[in-house]
Chains A and B, each alone.
Chain A
Amino acid sequence: MSFAPGLLSLVIFLPAAGAVASLLVPKNRPTIGRALALAVSTATFLASIQLLVGFRADASMQFVEDVSWIAAFGIRYHLGVDGISLFLVLLTTFLTPIVVLSSWSDVAQKVRAYHAMLLLLETGMLGAFLALDLFLFYVFWELMLIPMILLIGVWGGQRRIYAAVKFILYTMVGSLLMLVAILYLYKASGSRGFDIELIRQTALSSKEQWWLFAAFGLAFAIKVPLFPLHTWLPDAHVEAPTAGSVILAGVLLKLGTYGFLRFAIPLFPDAAIAFQPLLLALAVIGIIYGALVAMVQEDIKKLVAYSSVSHLGYVMLGLFSFNLEAFSGALYQMLNHGLSTGALFLLVGILYERRHTRQIADYGGIAARVPLYAAAFMLVTLSSIGLPGLNGFVGEFLILAGAFGENRLAAILSTTGVVLGAVYMLWLTQRFLFGPMRHAENQSLKDLGRREGLLLAPILLLIVWMGVSPRPILDRMEPALRSTLTRVEMSRARDAAPKAPIPLPDAQAILDDERSPR
């Protein structure tokens, strides 16, 4: 291997080191703290680029680090990246410097702690994406909690404490039941360990799978959030500071869908098939319900929050359609949503900083005053509603095409969500940007500054680039997705022909193939 061993550890723990360092910055020099956080998060991004450069487009785990952590319990420090996690890691490292830059003038209170929490959160998220040991995954999963509730609770809006407590309670109920499931898997593995490979080879009865999937699924579904577990999301988004909203929408929600793709579906394929109708139904309800509720919101942030419920519904639809198009679309849509919703929250935050209101009615007709801002907002809107040529189209199209092959009704119903999405987003831009100027305060509104342009430009570029040329990304995703899919298809084949089960060596060969270093 031509790359330094420990690259993944470097990527994960560089932000944590930055968090400690930013606590040591002198209190009265906030600019140093901001510069430090920006430097650390940019360095993390550059390091993660190395993953992309050295990545081979196959299904194997790469840059693997695997050492014993707590030998007595069989807990390993096992990290690796494949086509599923690669781009989510990049999304995380890409958004963090942007978020630091976005809060440059916005956050003036307790700046040191703010950056420490932001960077610690990044460590938690990256660790959760890269962990290949269930126990390690759980530790990183929980590590995200405290920084996130502090970000919401300390630097948030009016009802921030309510939102923070609601967030942590929802999350904890799910994740503690997941812990029980993880402990059960440990027992089922013959008390050998938590390694995902080990768990994959553990035979589980359908009934065991059902309960385990339910426990994992609940934790992930709360995070996604899947209807009807979504009620914490609007509160958290509305109260969180801009940076918190961007990270929450951009990355944190993806951990839920990532969890399904990495753990719940491949580890318990029988149960995933059994739960498919329920989850498809909830996904479709989420798509339509989220869109309808978004339509009637007065507060832009709340509107974007409900649009997230709708968009994540598409991702779930794709994940539970169990074919390659839908899988690729779902993973692609995770990235799209991270970019476009992240950008929307940034844009809302930029205006909020100027006018201190997020009510749609307080704006209107500002496009002529702030042309650059309006152009950026339009582009992101078009990406969000899936205009061909932009990234959103690729993901939505693949998901719907895949879903059509699996469940026609779900696909057709979800397509109405696309229409509704266009309605609420375009109606928003109409009331928000265009029409007559209704408020005198908006006359003196300033357009995007240099810093704001700098932080939006990379996102906008990616939105266009990922819409025009999706192949390089899809090619890297597909092998890993195909291997995940194999697990589901094997289980289906077994169900279809109970008399003649697929011989085990086949499965073993696939597993061996995956693990063999090339």
Chain B
Amino acid sequence: MNSVYLRALTANEPFAILAAGGILLVLLDAIAGRRRNLPWIWPTLAVLAAALARALAGAGGSSAGLIMDGFGRFVVALILVSAALTVVLSETHLRRIGRMRGEHYSLLIFSAAGMVLFATSTDLVYLFLGLELLSIPVYILSGYQRGSQRSAEAALKYFLLGAFSSAIFLLGIAFIYGASGSTDFAVAVSGNGKGSGLMSAGTLLLMSGFLFKVAAVPFHMWAPDVYEGAPTNVTAFMATAVKAAGFGALLRILGVTAGASQGLPLATVLWWLAVLTMIVGNLAALTQSNVKRMLAYSSIAHAGYILIGASVYAGTGDAGALEGALYYLLAYTFMTFGAFAVVAAFGEKQNEHLDMSDYGGLGWRYPALSIAMSLFMISLAGIPPTAGFFGKYAIFKNAVQNGQTSIVVIAVLNSALSVYYYIRVVVTLYMRPESVRVTAGRSVAIGLVVAVCALAVLWGGIAPEGRLPGGSDLLGSATRAVLAPR
């Protein structure tokens, strides 16, 4: 049995490349010893690029429970791009705090490897392996700023709650295995235990694990504190890559039973969670004066919008719902990452300038960063012509087509609410007087990240069906691949 798993893992080329790359970086770090101020960024990016190239080429094949199909390629690409952006963003931060070590980069790569596994498996053993592998490095990275009390608090909080949710996830796996005798979810749901109470309980516990990772209500409590306390580059990684991996795994598991009637009213459960997540996230974000906390609650709210797509997909198995959720994830990744990158750009070593009022008048002193920040806020608020608008459009359109107009009305009212706190950032940047002297260092690396995100957000808003350069229709093949076998 061991060898079967091992063979499958090594066949998943992107995963194998990342795992090997991570180990190599740890070794290099040990060899480098005291001469630690090395350009770690280049080997790290090389590893990520190699994994991305193999993933896009469709390498990794498919074995039972571990599928690198179009859907997998899409989510893996999203994860790896987000990881690459994090690597570039980390450069400036690590230099600033004087801890330019290889360990930071190898942790990022290990986490990315876990995410790849998490998003490409239907076998519960791989899922759990992926979950742990993606989580543990992120716990450490959250506390990477050792001198900072907040950073340590964030790490501890995230670790305790995360370990708890992993345990619940594992319990769910045990239930499912107990009910069906298989660890492959696709086999388990159609096998002996089909529709049994134990099976349903197991599935619900499994869901709670995913929902914890994507910070959906009621498993969202950790997000604001952890997002606020963690170094901004790590927060950006958590808010985008972790969420992409969580939704990737959730959607894939939902895809197994999508549209089929079974004992568990998953679509209804997700419907209510979507509503609650949107409302809680948006209402809480309204009152935040700390930019990172505001973005944390905003990311909860966005999980709610994506859950609409997940709910419709679970209920109907409609490809459009999956496409909407994936497109939203794409848009969300770039706009959120961009926003955190701007927050990182405004931060200084002594003062991170997380208080919204510190942004007063910066629009006129840092025009490029501020225009980009405004663009991200407009996109997060869902105002055209931005990627965020088309993300909402794709999910809402599909929900209306499937007769779910009521949840769309709830969602747009939530969006109207969210305009208030997103626009507040723009208002502060351009209309409030300068309150403190912010001296953002000119960092080429951060500028690059912001520019990439801004272009992606604009491009997604003007040509939302635009193909990648090279002509591959990643999104289309993502949805086709998941639906094809069923």
Contact = CB atoms under 8 A, between A and B. Distances in A.
Contact of A177 (B389, B412, B430, B431): B412
Contacts of A154: 430-431
A511 interface: no
A310 B393 CA distance: 37
Contacts of A160: 431
B384 A186 contact: no
B137 interface: no
Contacts of B426: 146, 150
Q: How large is the interface on B (under 10, 10 to 19, 20 to 34, 35 or more residues)?
A: 20 to 34
B178 interface: no
Contacts of B374: 146
Contacts of B383: 142, 145-146
B409 A173 contact: no
B400 interface: yes
A462 B408 CA distance: 46
A70 interface: yes
Interface stretch (B61-69, B208-216, B413-421): B413-421
A73 B383 CA distance: 18
Contact of A173 (B364, B416, B423, B432): B416
B427 interface: yes
A224 B427 CA distance: 25
B415 A176 contact: yes
B412 A72 contact: no
A184 B385 CA distance: 20
A422 interface: no
Interface in A138-191: 138-139, 142-143, 145-146, 149-150, 153-154, 160-161, 164-165, 168-169, 172-173, 176-177, 179-180, 183-184, 186-187, 191
B396 interface: yes
Contacts of B314: none
B423 A168 contact: yes
A179 B412 contact: yes
Contact of B412 (A165, A169, A180): A180
Interface centre among A72, A142, A172, A184 (most CB of B within 10 A): A172
B401 interface: yes
B190 interface: no
Q: What is the interface residue range for chain A against chain B?
A: 20 to 34
B465 interface: yes
B431 A153 contact: yes
A266 B469 CA distance: 43
A120 to B, nearest CB: 12
A184 B465 contact: no
A207 to B, nearest CB: 13
A308 B42 CA distance: 63
A172 B419 contact: yes
Contacts of B415: 172, 176
Contacts of A176: 412-413, 415-416
B384 A143 contact: yes
Contacts of B419: 168-169, 172
Contacts of A153: 427, 430-431
A438 interface: no
Nearest to B401: A187
Contacts of B54: none
A191 B402 CA distance: 12
B150 interface: no
B431 A70 contact: no
Interface in B329-374: 364, 374
Interface of B: 364, 374, 378, 383-385, 389, 393, 396-397, 400-401, 405, 408-409, 412-413, 415-416, 419-420, 423-424, 426-427, 430-432, 463-465
Ranked nearest first, the 4 interchain pairs of A and B with the lowest CB-CB distance are: A176-B412, A153-B431, A139-B384, A183-B400
Interface of A: 70-73, 110, 138-139, 142-143, 145-146, 149-150, 153-154, 160-161, 164-165, 168-169, 172-173, 176-177, 179-180, 183-184, 186-187, 191
Given A139-B384, A150-B430, A180-B396, 12 more contacts: A71-B465, A138-B384, A143-B384, A146-B378, A149-B423, A149-B427, A160-B431, A161-B432, A164-B431, A165-B424, A169-B419, A180-B412
